[in-house]
């Protein structure tokens, strides 16, 4: 049970930690500091608890599709927040600092709600069993510790890059994370038959299994799927196109504004 | 008015009746899947209904099927899978991965 808890919590924390680290690194390189992240914690905590405690009603809502639709909506909203972050970065001036921090708070809170609620459901469900309390709590703390450490490592690596590379590196990672979120959302909608699944585009499970450490890391950053459906693939590409559009249109806009 | 409501209900019911998505049921008891092996037809979309008979929550998860869903204690969950190529697709309970193991055999 101890090892299970470590792995389970690590998986959940890692996904969120990657996004938070990249946003923090971007925020620092824009001179916006790290303090805004504290604002997202109470929001995420309240959100996750509410999400976890209404999981019963949520699951049965929309003819049994409620859980997936709610999770997919959260992920699409995180994606939208990331697109806005990329856009603001393109027209950046220090006057936009407050808006940028607010959008980042939004992205982090929404991303933490899903992961946080799953952690809460697991920990509260199994810590209630007397024999399991100690291993579940110890394992969860260890998993969270490892996940957060990996996030700190990613943050430090991004900050250690030469300064001209920091912002492009953060934006590239954000584009991949965002597209991964949309792909996850489409998978959830296929799960409840709101989207047609179709046959898998390819099978790379023999190359990199989703359950392996490499697979999990790739999943956290790219939303890696060994057997993506055509809809998942198409939406992944569309999300990347949306990111690139946000990147270039904001730069075009800034150039225009500077000329005037 | 009642006739209109009747017609609307009938029209809403039609796709479910015609869609004839086959339904397969699985139970989780003592952190084990019953049955452990489900046989489904190839290249067909099917609906899996998973009943969690335990008091503790479980998460149905499968990398091969691209599926993941939290099922609270004493509740059920609908999961659509397929169309799939013939083969074996393992699934597990993420909260009890050592014991809760099963597979979907597509044939």
Q: What is the ipTM of this complex?
A: 0.87
CATH number of the domain within which B60 lies: 2.60.40.420
Tens-place pLDDT, residues B20-41: 799 999 999 999 999 999 999 9
Residue of chain A whose alpha carbon sits nearest to that of B57: A125
| Structural domain boundaries enclosing B77 | 21-106
B59 found inside a domain: yes
CA distance A252 to chain B (A): 39
> Do the domain assignments include residue B58?
yes
Domain membership flag for residue B10: no
Does B13 reside within a domain?
A: no
Q: Which residues of B touch A60 (CB under 8 A)?
A: 75
In a domain, B95, yes or no: yes
Nearest by Cα to B59 from A112, A149, A126: A126
Q: Which residues of A touch B70 (CB under 8 A)?
A: 55, 59, 67, 118, 121
Indicate whether B4 belongs to any domain.
Answer: no
- Chain B residues with CB-CB distance to A190 below 8 A: 66, 80
Contact B56 A198 (CB under 8 A): no
**Contacts of residue A77, Cβ cutoff 8 Å, sequence gap at least 6:** A106, A110
Domain count, chain B: 1
User: Is the Cβ pair B85, A199 closer than 8 Å?
Assistant: yes
Using alpha carbons, select from A216, A160, A175, A138 the residue that is nearest to residue A19: A175
CA dist A238 and A168 (Å) reads 20
CATH number of the domain bearing residue A254? 1.20.1250
Per-residue pLDDT tens listing for chain A (260 residues): 899 999 999 999 999 999 999 999 999 999 999 999 999 999 999 999 999 999 999 999 999 999 999 999 999 999 999 999 999 999 999 999 999 999 999 999 999 999 999 999 999 999 888 999 999 999 999 999 999 999 999 999 999 999 999 999 999 999 999 999 999 999 999 999 999 888 889 999 889 998 888 888 888 888 888 999 999 999 999 999 999 999 999 999 999 988 87
Tally the domains of chain A. Answer: 1
Contact A67 B82 (CB under 8 A): no
At A87-117, the pLDDT tens digits run: 999 999 999 999 999 999 999 999 999 999 9
| The pLDDT of residue B8 | 63
Cβ–Cβ under 8 Å, residues A247 and A86: yes
Which residues in chain A are contacts of B106 at CB distance < 8 A?
none
> For residue B81, is it within any domain?
yes
Domain boundaries, position A6: 2-259
Using the beta-carbon criterion (under 8 Å), do B80 and A56 form an inter-chain contact? no
């Amino acid at each position: 049970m101890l090892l299970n808890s470590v792995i389970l919590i690590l998986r959940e924390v890692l996904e969120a930690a990657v996004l938070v680290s990249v946003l923090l690194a971007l925020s620092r390189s824009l001179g916006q500091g790290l303090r805004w992240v504290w604002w997202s914690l109470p929001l995420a905590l309240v959100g996750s608890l509410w999400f976890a405690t209404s999981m019963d009603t949520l699951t049965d809502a929309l003819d049994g599709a409620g859980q997936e639709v709610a999770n997919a909506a959260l992920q699409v909203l995180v994606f939208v927040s990331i697109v806005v972050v990329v856009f603001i970065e393109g027209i950046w001036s220090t006057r936009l600092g407050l808006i940028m921090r607010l959008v980042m708070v939004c992205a982090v809170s929404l991303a933490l709600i899903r992961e946080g609620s799953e952690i809460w459901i697991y920990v509260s469900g199994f810590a209630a069993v007397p024999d399991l309390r100690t291993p579940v709590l110890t394992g969860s703390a260890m998993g969270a510790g490892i996940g957060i450490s990996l996030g700190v490592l990613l943050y430090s690596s991004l900050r250690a890059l030469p300064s001209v590379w920091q912002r492009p590196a953060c934006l590239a990672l954000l584009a991949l994370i965002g597209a991964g979120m949309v792909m996850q959302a489409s998978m959830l909608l296929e799960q409840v038959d709101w989207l047609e699944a179709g046959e898998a585009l390819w099978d790379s499970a023999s190359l990199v299994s989703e359950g392996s450490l490499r697979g999990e890391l790739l999943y956290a950053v790219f939303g890696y799927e060994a057997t993506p459906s055509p809809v998942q693939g198409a939406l992944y590409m569309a999300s990347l196109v949306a990111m690139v559009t946000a990147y270039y249109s904001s730069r075009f806009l800034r150039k225009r504004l500077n000329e005037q | 008015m009642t006739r209109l409501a009747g017609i609307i209900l009938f029209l809403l019911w039609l796709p479910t009746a015609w869609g004839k998505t086959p339904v397969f049921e699985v139970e989780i008891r003592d952190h084990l899947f019953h049955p452990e092996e489900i046989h489904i037809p190839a290249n067909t979309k099917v609906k899996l209904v998973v009943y969690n008979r335990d008091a503790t929550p479980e998460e149905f998860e499968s990398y091969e099927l691209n599926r993941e869903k939290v099922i609270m204690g004493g509740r059920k969950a609908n999961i659509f899978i397929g169309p799939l190529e013939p083969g074996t697709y393992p699934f597990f309970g993420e909260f009890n991965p050592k014991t809760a193991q099963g597979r979907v055999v597509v044939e």
